[in-house]
Amino acid sequence: MSHLTQIFNTEKIQPLPSVEDLANRYSLTQQQQRFVEQTREDIKRILNGDDDRLLVIIGPCSIHDPQAGLDYAKRIAELQTRYRDQLLIVMRTYFEKPRTRTGWKGLMVDPNLDGSQDLFLGLHTARQFLTQVLALGVPTATEFLDTNLAPYLADLICWGAIGARTAESQPHRQLASALPFAVGIKNGTQGDINIAINAIHAMQEPQLLPLSSSIHGSVSVTTSGNPDGHLILRGGAQPNYQTEHVIQTARALTESQLPSRLVIDFSHGNSQKCAKNQIVVARDIAQQLISGEQCIAGVMCESFLVAGSQVIEPGQLVYGQSVTDECLCWQDSVEVLDTLAQAVDQAGQVRYSTVA
């Protein structure tokens, strides 16, 4: 530890648990592990076009209150049966938040929401939360931000994302190459899809991934490559969810010898940071599906119990309301799911009548 003070400017050095110790403390039953593995395969089938359902990644912008997050997960669990033939619903369980300048960095880094940055507690809290969500039969999704922290959670994740700010990052591409599930890559913050296309190519190849959190000490892992990378349209300076953008992106993927199936994020640049606009985007995507669009494999939506967002003020937080980006309320979220499910049904009827 003392040598680190000669390398870095430090105020505090805090030991962290090993990946193995934390995994043993918060582990899955065999049935839950099979559920994770099956969901990963189902997601891949949807992305490959072998499953007609729509992948829906939905949930809070970030998890800041595990109890409210678990209440949301219970509601998602109750909806699974209603939409099982049309939608594969996966809950956003996001614990890290990229900051343009400064701000709360997420539950894993700052679980007390007070700047104390108790990473030790955050790792425990995040992993325990994931096991509780999976125990409800709800699949999990997250964005990987700090590549050093990914090994603590990756075995409990069904679908992963690399964000717009990190899609060009070599360490993140190396991590995506190692992950055993489908990983979506977002277009750049200004809307550049080539950033994501290049990242998808990179993650398909074997990469060298250094790890420092193993029980065996620091190691390097040679990955086998991840064939299940896909592009996420999340908007940029302008939205990019409409038909012309989907067609252009699908064409660019095909020309780059990549599968043309993609995911559309209702939020961020596509909603222009206004949560209610996600409903408008959902309706547009639904119409595209009904009209026969085959390249849209999935969507993303930011949703929580209470609409909007709030500033972090410990002791005065509104239960079930986001402390990062605005989210739809639960009632609006169900409306979005209904819209998408009906669109999938109608699209299927059109395909069936065409074949007949």
Q: How does the average pLDDT of the chain come out, rounded?
A: 94
pLDDT value at residue 199: 98
pTM of the model: 0.96
Is residue 37, in this structure, part of any structural domain at all? no
**pLDDT(215) > 80:** no
d(CA 113, CA 261): 38
- Mean pLDDT for 220-247 is 97
Asked if pLDDT for residue 62 goes beyond 70, the answer is yes
Domain membership flag for residue 23:
no
Instruction: Give the range of the structural domain holding residue 119, as residue numbers without chain letter.
Output: 52-303+324-355
Q: What is the largest CA-CA distance in the chain?
A: 73
- From start to end of 22-153, where are the E strands? 54-59, 87-92, 140-143
Give the pLDDT of residue 356.
43
pLDDT at 171 over 50: yes
**Across residues 282-307, what is the average pLDDT?**
98
Amino acid at 323: V
pLDDT given at position 211? 82
Residue 313 Cα distances to 104, 115, 309, 322, 339, angstroms: 12, 12, 12, 12, 35
- Asked if pLDDT for residue 174 goes beyond 70, the answer is yes
**pLDDT value of residue 161:** 98
Residue 47 lies in a domain: no
Band (355; pLDDT cuts 50, 70, 90): very low
pLDDT score at 48: 98
Q: Give 8's pLDDT tier (boundaries 50, 70, 90).
A: confident
pLDDT higher than threshold 60 for residue 153: yes
211-224 per-residue burial string, b: 16 or more CB within 10 A, e: under 16: bebeeeeeeeeebe
Total domains in the chain come to: 1
pLDDT at 212: 75
Question: pLDDT tens, 65-91?
Answer: 999 999 999 999 999 999 999 999 999
Token pair of 134, please?
């999976």
What pLDDT sits at residue 1? 52
Cβ neighbours of residue 10 closer than 8 Å, sequence gap 6 or more: 4
Binned at pLDDT 50, 70 and 90, residue 187 comes out as: very high
Residue 154 lies in a domain: yes
Residue 121 belongs to domain with CATH number: 3.20.20.70
Is pLDDT above 80 for 35?
A: yes
In terms of DSSP bridges, do strands 262-265 and 229-233 run parallel, antiparallel, or are they unpaired? parallel
- Cβ contact 257:268 at 8 Å: no
